Amino acid sequence: MAEDGEPKGKEYVLEADAELRFEVENKNENVILTLKSGYAEIFGTELVRGKAYSFKTGAKIAVFTWQGCTLELGGECDCYIAKETPMMFYLNCHACLEQLRMKAENESDVKRGPITMIVGPSDVGKSTVCRILLNYAVRMGRTPVFVDLDVGQGAISIPGAIGALLVERPAAIGEGFSEQAPLVYNFGHTGIQKNTQLMNVLVGRLAEVVHERLQANKKANVSGVIINTCGWVKNDGYRLLKHAARAFEVDVVLVLDQEKLYNELSRDMPQFVKVVLLPKSGGVVERSKAYRAEARDDRIRHYFYGNKTPLHPHSFDVKWSDLKIYKIGAPPLPDSCMPLGMKAEDNMTKLVSVQPGPNLLHHILALSFAASPEDDIITSNIAGYICVTNVDVENQTLTVLSPQPRPLPDTVLLLCDLQFMDSH
Ligand code: ATP
């Protein structure tokens, strides 16, 4: 027992370049990690010695040390020490990116820092590598832009969104990067195969705005961009990757774990783009469909209710007649039924008016910055999300959960495929 009567955790001594990997699997478990001596980091964020970090069910963590350390772990979890990690490869990538940043800083003919895209199939650690590279950049005093094109988990805002974020501080352990004023575009589905045309348009628009913002922020411009992508790397998924690389004008593509993809990209990317194959970490855990669905729910709950810092969302009624709800993408028609000169895929980026009703229950609605359907709604970014928690047909009202108090701004609402059951 520790002095205060609390049960003490188990101690682990790590040599340099090793990592302690653990997964919290039991329901309602809370695992406490403390760095007792030495130095250690979690996905690039340094741990503070003596501070207790808590991890809840679902956490899959690696505590890495460059110098060696002693850790204490309390609570039930699956854990082991790994001596083989790809961290040296990732550090080398960071060092190369840092050199490009220095060139952008010091040489007048280099206009900006490196734009790097991380690609690979599902569950190879793409998001983790992005996080490590961003954290290392910030620890060098840089302010890179993080772009997330992975609608499956939605690291910026919620699943179904793509966006960009200026990273000024390392990610908080167990929380991620601080999301102040992110630039968000609504896709509305958690799989890009649902509407690849729309995704292409949104990626193009996001890239345009990111480039504009880099022009206006010299420090970010020198720091560059790190882009996370989704794990669909075949057929249309591959075409989307190429489109994103072109739109963002990437300089470096890091391919995790798939030689085939590496070969294809080396063949198809322009010569000036550096394509690098990187190994995946043996620690990356494959996630089941059920786990992913739960992680998505957690992400949305986090959006409305916060995590370690609790948020207090508002719940209020709005009249159907006060709402302008649309969805993007009309049901596909055969080409033969389309008006002259239009193709079936044009329908996928069409705006369709939605009548409020029971069909909206539990759905997420995006609040567009576009005020009316005459504006270019598809390429307008969004202010945030609300969730429909009740539909009253008799009184023709919806009850919504909203991060902001009433009234809702008088703008267009976009219906998402995504649903969330509010259990609070
Ligand atoms: P997706 O299929 O969603 O695109 P991905 O390729 O981005 O997945 P990550 O989300 O980075 O993969 O990693 C998958 C899981 O593995 C995450 O829960 C992450 O915390 C965990 N993970 C990553 N690296 C390690 C490691 N070295 N040790 C233990 N767990 C790890």
Report which ligand 1 atom has the smallest distance to the Cα of 228.
Answer: 7
Pocket test of ligand 1: the residue of 14, 122, 123 to mutate, having most ligand atoms within 8 Å of its CB, is 123
Residue-wise pLDDT tens digits, 342-389: 666 678 888 899 999 999 999 999 999 988 877 888 889 999 999 999
Ligand 1 pocket at CB < 6 A: 21, 60, 62, 122-128, 150, 152-153, 230-231, 281, 283-285
276 bridge partner residues: 254
Distance CA 125, CA 123 (A): 6
CB 236 within 8 A of CB 193: yes
What was the pLDDT predicted at 338? Answer: 62
Report which ligand 1 atom has the smallest distance to the Cα of 281.
Answer: 27
Residue-wise pLDDT tens digits, 266-301: 999 999 999 999 999 999 988 889 989 988 999 999
Q: How does residue 2 score in pLDDT terms, banded at 50, 70 and 90?
A: very low
CB 66 within 8 A of CB 57: no
Identify whether 407 is preceded by a cis peptide bond (ω within 30 of 0). yes
What share of the chain has pLDDT > 90, as a percent? 76
Give the distance (Å) from ligand 1 centre to CA of residue 416: 26
Give the distance (Å) from ligand 1 centre to CA of residue 383: 29
Residue of higher predicted confidence among 189 and 332: 189
Residue-wise pLDDT tens digits, 223-242: 999 999 999 999 999 999 99
Q: What is the mean pLDDT of the segment spanning 207-232?
A: 96
State ipTM: 0.98
Distance CA 371, CA 184 (A): 16
Residue-wise pLDDT tens digits, 299-338: 999 899 987 778 889 999 999 999 999 999 876 666 666 6
Report which ligand 1 atom has the smallest distance to the Cα of 231.
Answer: 4
- Answering whether pTM is above 0.80, one says yes
Distance CA 379, CA 184 (A): 11
Task: State the burial class of residue 63 (Cβ atoms within 10 Å of its Cβ: 0-12, 13-18, 19+).
Answer: buried
